[in-house]
């Protein structure tokens, strides 16, 4: 069962990816994590990626797919995997598709966690983070016991720059421009399934489980 998670930043796809991985016993693969692991372990692919990253450049799609295929060739992926954060663009999807086809493989499901922009701006604007211990909260859904104070270490909570409305709107614009076309790409392949991401996290997961069976 090979799954790609789609959805705007803040739609909750990472949380759902982890829950899918746990339930079905398959690895949750985030491209950021693979890059870091390859660089840390000093692999040839990792060193090649680092050259681009050190210059502030994006890692080319072909190299990203090579690193990804290297990861999914591991024994723990034999029953499938959940991809989170890749592909982000049509060219990346095409490179991945071609590489999987050459291996006699394909993506089984592309799951779109669908949340309207205004919900995301509100949702992310309510996030609060503790810069001291890394704990995260939400003023509506997971509030701290004392307003503005971290339950774990007592430090002040902040609204990260990433979560400020103007930043979120910029990220959403990039998403609509670059990533949303993937919805049509995977619809044409007959593997796209959309779930309503505005409902409770458990209900989103229940809808996904119904799709995956």
Q: What is the DSSP string of 148-194?
A: TB-TTT-PBEE--GGGSHHHHHHHHHHIIIIITHHHHHHHHTT-EEE
Per-residue pLDDT band at 106 (split at 50, 70, 90): very high
What pLDDT score was predicted for residue 207? 98
pTM summary value:
0.83
Mean pLDDT, the chain, rounded, equals: 93
What pLDDT score was predicted for residue 58? 82
- What domain range is 198 assigned to? 2-27+74-212
Domain presence at residue 59: no
Domain presence at residue 96: yes
Burial class (CB in 10 A: 0-12, 13-18, 19+), 190: exposed
Domain presence at residue 66: no
In the chain, the percentage of residues whose pLDDT exceeds 70 is: 100
172 to 16, 29, 179: CA distances (angstroms): 19, 23, 10
Structural domains of the chain, count = 1
Domain presence at residue 42: no
Within 2-116, strands assigned E span 2-6, 28-30, 81-84, 109-114
Per-residue pLDDT band at 174 (split at 50, 70, 90): confident
What pLDDT score was predicted for residue 195? 98
Domain presence at residue 87: yes
- What tokens appear for 207 in the block? 């809808």
Mean pLDDT, residues 65-79 taken together: 92
Domain presence at residue 142: yes
Q: What is the CATH number of the domain that holds 194?
A: 3.40.50.300
Q: Is the pLDDT of residue 85 over 90?
A: no
Domain presence at residue 55: no
Catalytic residues: 13, 88, 127, 160, 171
Q: Is the pLDDT of residue 213 over 90?
A: no
Place of tokens 């990253």: 53
Residue 56's region, left for phi above 0, alpha for psi from -120 to 50, else beta, is left
In the chain, the percentage of residues whose pLDDT exceeds 90 is: 81
Is there a contact between 34 and 27 (Cβ–Cβ < 8 Å)?
no
Domain presence at residue 41: no
């Amino acid at each position: 069962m090979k799954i790609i998670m789609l959805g705007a930043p803040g739609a909750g796809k990472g949380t759902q990816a982890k829950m899918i991985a746990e339930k079905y016993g398959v690895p949750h693969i985030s491209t950021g994590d693979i890059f870091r692991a390859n660089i840390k372990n000093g692999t040839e692919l990792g060193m090649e990626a680092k050259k681009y990253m050190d210059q502030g450049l994006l890692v080319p799609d072909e190299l990203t797919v090579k690193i990804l295929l290297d990861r999914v060739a591991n024994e723990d992926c034999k029953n499938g995997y959940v991809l989170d954060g890749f592909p982000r663009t049509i060219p990346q999807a095409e490179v991945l598709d071609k590489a999987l086809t050459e291996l006699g493989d394909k993506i089984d499901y592309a799951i779109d966690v669908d949340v309207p922009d205004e919900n995301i701006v509100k949702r992310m604007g309510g996030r609060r983070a503790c810069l001291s211990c890394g704990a995260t909260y939400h003023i509506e859904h997971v509030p701290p016991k004392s307003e503005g104070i971290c339950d774990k270490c007592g430090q002040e909570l902040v609204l990260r720059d990433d979560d400020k409305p103007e930043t979120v709107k910029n990220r959403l614009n990039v998403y609509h421009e670059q990533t949303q076309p993937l919805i049509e790409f995977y619809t044409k392949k007959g593997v796209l399934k959309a779930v309503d991401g505005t409902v409770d996290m458990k209900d989103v997961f229940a809808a996904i489980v119904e799709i995956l069976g």
